[in-house]
Amino acid sequence: MPLSEEQRQNMKKRRQKILNTAVYLFATEGYEGTTIKKIAEAADVSFGNVFTYFKDKEQLFYAAVVEPLEAISDQILDFNENAEDPLLELQEMVKKDIQLFAGEQNYLTLVVQVVGQYQRFPEPFDQLNQFHDHWREKVGRLIENGQHKGLLKKQASMPVATLYTSLLIGIRLNNTDTRYSDMWAQYITPAFQLFGPIHE
């Protein structure tokens, strides 16, 4: 008998709850310190129910790294590298990114773990690395657009793009303020200055 729409939605919500719990526990307790039993208890589901959605701990860890990335990547990449006004585009990009990263402390902690142990977690690292390369390249093209128009200082675009992406992660991991704190607005101008604006 096929599942009803209500049953499908309940399963989808339960899977997401397990995944969100896994992100939190992997981020705070590490891969070794996190067990399926702990995830099940924290998500308020049975031990066996976790395996309805994930084959094993390794698959759940992969999903905890890759699925949130898929969810936020469209937001991160939502800027126009060929904008007529690259300064305005950069300013809006920085505001959006800081607001987005302000709400991703647990996930970014997990990302840093994967990057720091890339040989141990090659598959999720490969997904993160591919996205990061694409992101940096797009930011780099926007920087070059601004330089071509004489609005940004001439400097190598890719190192600047790398500094920018690293800064976003660092700000979130070193700041205990909630995403709704006024503190986050104070980072917008310094982050924008990385790009070397000649006119603001």
At 6, which CATH number? 1.10.10.60
Strand partners, 197: 152
CA distance 90 to 94: 6
How high is the pLDDT of residue 194? 94
Residue 200 belongs to a domain: no
Asked whether residue 176 falls in the same domain as residue 86, the answer is: yes
Asked whether residue 106 falls in the same domain as residue 125, the answer is: yes
Asked whether residue 15 falls in the same domain as residue 74, the answer is: no
Asked whether residue 86 falls in the same domain as residue 129, the answer is: yes
How high is the pLDDT of residue 184? 82
Q: Which residues of the chain have pLDDT under 50?
A: none
Strand partners, 152: 197
Asked whether residue 78 falls in the same domain as residue 160, the answer is: yes
Asked whether residue 32 falls in the same domain as residue 109, the answer is: no
How high is the pLDDT of residue 95? 93
Asked whether residue 183 falls in the same domain as residue 84, the answer is: yes
Residue 41 belongs to a domain: yes
CB distance 18 to 64 below 8 Å: no
Angle at 163 between CA 157 and CA 166, to 5 degrees: 140
How high is the pLDDT of residue 185? 84
How high is the pLDDT of residue 131? 95
CATH number where 84 lies = 1.10.357.10
Give the CA distances from residue 135 to residues 17, 88, 91, in Å, rounded to whole numbers and listed in that order. 28, 18, 16
How high is the pLDDT of residue 12? 86
How high is the pLDDT of residue 180? 58
Residue 198 belongs to a domain: no
Asked whether residue 5 falls in the same domain as residue 28, the answer is: yes
Encode burial over 90-116: b for 16+ CB neighbours within 10 A, e otherwise.
Answer: bbebbbebbebbbebbbbbbbbebbee
CA distance 124 to 194: 29
How high is the pLDDT of residue 30? 93
How high is the pLDDT of residue 177? 60
Asked whether residue 34 falls in the same domain as residue 124, the answer is: no
Residue 60 belongs to a domain: no
How high is the pLDDT of residue 71? 84
How high is the pLDDT of residue 17? 94
How high is the pLDDT of residue 1? 62
How high is the pLDDT of residue 176? 66
Domain boundary among 31, 54, 77: 54
Q: List, in order, residues 6 or more apart from 144 with CB less than 8 Å away.
A: 157
- Structural domain containing residue 16: 1-54
The SS3 assignment for 19 reads helix
Provide the token pair at 110.
Answer: 């997990």
Residue 199 belongs to a domain: no
Structurally, the chain folds into a number of domains equal to: 2
CB distance 109 to 88 below 8 Å: no
CB distance 152 to 196 below 8 Å: yes
The single residue listed with the structure tokens 């309940």 is 10
